[in-house]
């Protein structure tokens, strides 16, 4: 085996990849047969197309920040019309592919109609998404003394970048395009280091400061004016299983964070517990029980005791 690869990579005329391609083809066909049987392979959603769609939608929401640099007030509406039309056409096709993947026996016409309706409903929600995002941007500006302007927040803050994409993904998730929503969320995760499941419900004026390492689970519910710092986890404490030992999916298992809560860096909040309104959760706290409104939770302080003459034995 070692000699074979040495021959391949030292060939002065180029790589001899035919054997590798053949081996990969065998593995690919085996995997496809296990997933889909021996029938026709389904079309899959395209991550590249979804990435392009997300970039277009971000530019539609904030054209002066993410649109072309030569954009002017006179050309903005034309840019939005062109860009939004392209984004929605791409999105409709990706939704159709997702629907077909999970419902292979459904009629193509019916799936195309559903994809169009989902895309139209998503498009109608974009003004509401923009209004929510404006509250998030304002919260970031007012909550961070380092922020010099709202424009700086839009351009530079990873938490804002993540919440823009989350609010798009969450809308798709609610409309039933859950795989596309997950892809959008993973795009945001790879770009920002912030991992928000698209199923998470997040209220207005949400601010993630710094942000790297933040994890928010699928069934988390976050109220208004909540602030998180880096490396915060809103996760599940345990995973319930059915009588066959399989995981029970979709059950509420992540925290409820009420309005005006602050959770500081490194805190881990697990399970379907409630963090009461106005509470502050200190850095590196491990929390698995609900706390009442107005609570201040911090790490236990270290206590040093000296034992003399055999005391403590």
Q: What is residue 292's predicted lDDT score, i.e. its pLDDT?
A: 98
pLDDT of 196-223, one tens digit each? 999 999 999 999 999 999 999 999 999 9
pLDDT tier at 243, thresholds 50, 70, 90: confident
Reported as a single tens digit per residue, the pLDDT across 87-101 is 999 999 999 999 999
Least confident of 13-17, 55-59, 241-245: 13-17
CATH class label, 42-193 = mainly alpha
- At 1, is the pLDDT very low, low, confident or very high (cuts 50, 70, 90)? very low
Q: Are 182 and 208 in contact (CB under 8 A)?
A: no
Q: Does 5 have pLDDT greater than 50?
A: no
Q: Is 151 exposed, middle or buried (0-12, 13-18, 19+ CB in 10 A)?
A: middle
In this structure, of 36-40, 51-55, 145-149, 151-155, the range with the lowest mean pLDDT score is 36-40
Task: Average the pLDDT over each of 33-42, 239-248, 289-298 and give the range with the smallest value.
Answer: 239-248
CATH number of 200-299: 2.160.10.10
**pLDDT digit string, tens, across residues 38-49:** 778 889 999 999
Q: Are 273 and 258 in contact (CB under 8 A)?
A: no
- Report how far Cα 268 is from the mean position of its chain's Cα atoms: 18
Say if strands 280-281 and 274-275 run parallel, antiparallel, or are unpaired: unpaired
Give the residue-averaged pLDDT of 129-157: 98
State the pairing for strand pair 215-216/233-235.
Answer: parallel
- Domain spans in the chain, listed from the N-terminal domain onward: 42-193, 200-299
Whole-model pTM: value is 0.88
Predicted local confidence at residue 2, as pLDDT? 45
């Amino acid at each position: 085996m070692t000699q074979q690869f040495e021959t391949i990579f030292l060939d002065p005329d180029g790589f001899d990849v035919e054997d590798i391609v053949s081996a990969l083809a065998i593995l690919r066909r085996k995997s496809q047969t296990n997933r889909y049987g021996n029938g026709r392979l389904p079309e899959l959603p395209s991550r590249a197309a979804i990435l392009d769609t997300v970039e277009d939608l971000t530019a539609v929401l904030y054209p002066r920040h993410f649109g072309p640099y030569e954009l002017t007030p006179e050309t903005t509406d034309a840019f939005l019309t062109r860009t939004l039309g392209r984004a929605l056409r791409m999105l409709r096709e990706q939704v159709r592919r997702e629907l077909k993947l999970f419902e292979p026996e459904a009629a193509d016409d019916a799936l195309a109609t559903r994809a169009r309706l989902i895309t139209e409903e998503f498009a109608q929600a974009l003004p509401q998404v923009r209004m929510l995002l404006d509250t998030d941007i304002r919260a970031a500006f007012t909550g961070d003394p380092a922020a010099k302007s709202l424009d700086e927040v839009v351009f530079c803050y990873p938490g804002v970048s993540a919440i823009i994409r989350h609010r798009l993904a969450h809308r798709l998730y609610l409309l039933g395009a859950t795989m596309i929503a997950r892809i959008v969320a993973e795009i945001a995760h790879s770009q920002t280091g912030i991992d928000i499941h698209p199923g998470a419900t997040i209220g207005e004026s949400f601010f993630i400061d710094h942000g790297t390492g933040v994890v928010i689970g699928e069934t988390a519910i976050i109220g208004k004016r909540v602030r998180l710092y880096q490396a915060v986890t809103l996760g599940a404490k345990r995973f319930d299983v059915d009588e066959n030992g399989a995981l029970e999916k979709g059950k509420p298992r992540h925290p409820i964070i009420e309005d005006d809560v602050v959770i500081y860096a490194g805190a881990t909040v697990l399970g379907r517990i409630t963090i009461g309104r106005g509470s502050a959760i200190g850095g590196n706290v491990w929390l698995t029980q609900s706390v009442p409104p107005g609570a201040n939770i911090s790490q236990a302080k270290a206590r040093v005791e000296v034992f003399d003459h055999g005391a403590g034995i």
